[in-house]
Amino acid sequence: MAITRRNALRASLVGGVGAAAAAAVPASAWADPTGTPHAEDPATALRLLKRGNERWREYCSRHPHEGRGRRAQLVEGQNPFACVLGCADSRVPPELVFDQGLGDLFTIRSAGQVLDGSVLGSLSYAAHIDVPLIVVMGHQSCGAVTAAVEAHETGALPEGHIGFLVEQILEVVESTPDDGEDFIDDCVRANAVHIAEQLRQDADLREKVDAGRLEIVPARYDLETSEVVWL
């Protein structure tokens, strides 16, 4: 009976006084041991992304930088080591695909990675906070690219805002040779490469690219294998 009362007392302390004491623990004591270091250069950033994607592919994700200490640290500001411009598709969340956590990635998502003023402004801000790497990531079975291929084949643009998206991708579709086994996937790859090249020439980004302080690389995510292929 004494043991039971002692256990009950211990439980009440953990739930009451213990909880208050835990709240008073310095943020550093809750540091996430699985967090990744910050990358100051494009090569290191790319290496961290590749390692994260390898963990994701092998079902060994660490889910870093999600703990109390990381959240407290980020109240003071952010210092992401890479920026990912990806598709809005729900199957391709960059933080999961690259096994990164809070504050690690500056993510921007639009269907087909289509560029507009808002997306470009967000990318410029990523460069402003000294992110050394921008990844333009397309993916297998992209709906926006598929719609652009259909518009190319039928000559009919969808109406409304979707028509805007399709129109931005049509240039790539029309310049991609239709001589492979999977024309849509060829266009997905070509679209990522095209957007990456556009960004390298962008007035807000070109100076850092030319100086070697920012690298912009295209990639394609495979839904079947969970692998990010670098183009």
| DSSP-assigned letters across all residues of 32-91 | -TTPPPPPSSHHHHHHHHHHHHHHHHTT-----S-SHHHHHHHTT----SEEEEE---TT
Yes or no: say if 82 and 49 are a contact pair by the CB < 8 Å rule: yes
DSSP-derived 3-state class of residue 231: coil
Higher pLDDT, 67 or 9: 67
151 and 92 in a single domain? The answer is: yes
131 and 189 in a single domain? The answer is: yes
Burial group, residue 214, by CB count within 10 angstroms (0-12, 13-18, 19+)? buried
26 and 79 in a single domain? The answer is: no
Separation of alpha carbons 135 and 102, rounded Å: 18
Separation of alpha carbons 102 and 105, rounded Å: 7
- Residue range 96-105, pLDDT digits in tens: 999 999 999 9
- Residue range 149-168, pLDDT digits in tens: 999 999 999 999 999 999 99
32 is in an annotated binding site: no
17 and 105 in a single domain? The answer is: no
Q: Does residue 186 register a pLDDT over 80?
A: yes
Indicate yes or no: pTM above 0.75: yes
Q: Does residue 90 register a pLDDT over 60?
A: yes
* DSSP strand pairing (133-139 vs 215-221): parallel
24 and 69 in a single domain? The answer is: no
Q: Does residue 49 register a pLDDT over 70?
A: yes
139 is in an annotated binding site: yes
12: domain range? 1-30
Q: What count of other Cβ atoms lies within 10 Å of the Cβ of residue 75?
A: 7
DSSP-derived 3-state class of residue 209: helix
- Residue range 206-229, pLDDT digits in tens: 999 999 999 999 999 999 999 999
Yes or no: say if 144 and 187 are a contact pair by the CB < 8 Å rule: no
59 and 24 in a single domain? The answer is: no
DSSP-derived 3-state class of residue 219: strand
102 and 142 in a single domain? The answer is: yes
For the ranges 111-115, 142-146, 178-182, which has the lowest average pLDDT? 178-182
83 is in an annotated binding site: no
178 and 207 in a single domain? The answer is: yes
Helix (H) / strand (E) element for 215: namely strand 215-221
What average pLDDT does this structure show over 189-202?
A: 98
pLDDT band of residue 64 (cuts 50, 70, 90) is very high
CATH of the domain at 155: 3.40.1050.10
The fraction of the chain above a pLDDT of 70, given in percent, is: 84
pLDDT at 39: 75
Burial group, residue 31, by CB count within 10 angstroms (0-12, 13-18, 19+)? middle
pLDDT band of residue 21 (cuts 50, 70, 90) is very low
